[in-house]
Structure 1
């Protein structure tokens, strides 16, 4: 990847969620092939182990490993954070990449709509648990993978207040694409608020759009999505091209100390008006904190 040309990340530790396939895999591989210690944080350990083997086939000296992280279960997020901290290593880059897309309505064991928990709340909790490690490793960076689809939704009610019913809807109010769009809006709001809170401690955060309808495993939940993604495949980015913006925000020297922004094609662009709302971002942060506390009693570990 041109962005990393000539760069040596030996001594740097990178965690990528959902890294067993797609842009997450390309992001993890890019850092591993440039010397970083990379951890693939995945739910499916069989696929994650295969991904590790594929990276090692390209460079047998790569320092890469897989760890279990199931974002549908807050206790799993907690266990991952504990296992990571037990390694006593720093954390220089955290890429919140894993996502659910186009799935049928279901509730997680934590009682929340699955798309919302996987795409937003699980990552929110993961960052809370690892924020002290990030701060002690400063300068450190968080990259949250969002989408241009964030522009086609709203998460506030008619009074302008955050609507929990939009974020974690009932089965009767659920539409898979809308749930995904709302979760991607949450990604940008979360990234912006995270940057406001942690940048004084040397941790920056940016949100990125990897590309439209790229052919990855994200569409596997329904044959219609697979058909649409297959038809679009000749006109979309490759996985490596899709990972480029994530890697740029995670590694580019000119991004040092900069955050609270949204990137597409390695260029900063303005997200939707609601995504820029500091009030909505604070409300989402407070709601997310409360949701975790109601289920686990604490947002820190």
Structure 2
């Protein structure tokens, strides 16, 4: 009998009550991540990527209404009491946020903040935890880790602060790491170092990684599997190689077409996806991408397509998938 996925999400929905009515930010999202693999969740801002991550971690505000199943190593955690969920954060699942300067506590040193998780979840003494924290900072390639461990966040560079966040997240060797735009505001060189570090630690520990990003170049280099989100739903889900080779949803086609590439004709304009993301308080009927889709048919505006398999391991929520003939005609 095979081991369960590190993370399995089924029919996840998240609603918020607003002055304009119920806003369904996540609507029936399902995916799984195996140990030692990276699933990238991509899509435009506002599509529900970060809300999905916060729902998994149990970090949404109390007024959010969450339904569906979230299983960590086979254990249902969506229905756990808040205190039980809190005990799991840092020990069995951890998250690296977009901006480490607002995530780290300015009143404590880097070493103290890494050591806190070790004291809380592993019962180490203050001295033992700090020593382990220094080891973790060295492990994430922070030079002169013993000295840096005694410095405060404002004394560290952006890249170092992000490495501290990764050290905090991985200190207890969690089963799941969620990285939400972990290289935002970092220069390209540091970005590459941070992503390579996450890959290396994933291989060493077998941790499953959910990488939330809008950068398709990052996805191509660092993810084995991809889920493309649009307006709170998954539009396409596939192994990364298959998604880049034969995209099966018009939204994915649009995202790939809008990505800058070497070799593009000088002065050539990037492709764009016309229109805007729909109002999630009043989403359109049928396929939510239909108002922006160049391949839409009458059915698309009337009936929402299910996420269905169009090739082994490759699913698309499009009435016209598989898209090969359409794309050939449009070329």
TM-score normalised to structure 1 length: 0.34
Structure number with higher helix proportion:
1
Structure number with larger C-alpha Rg: 2
Structure number with higher strand proportion:
2
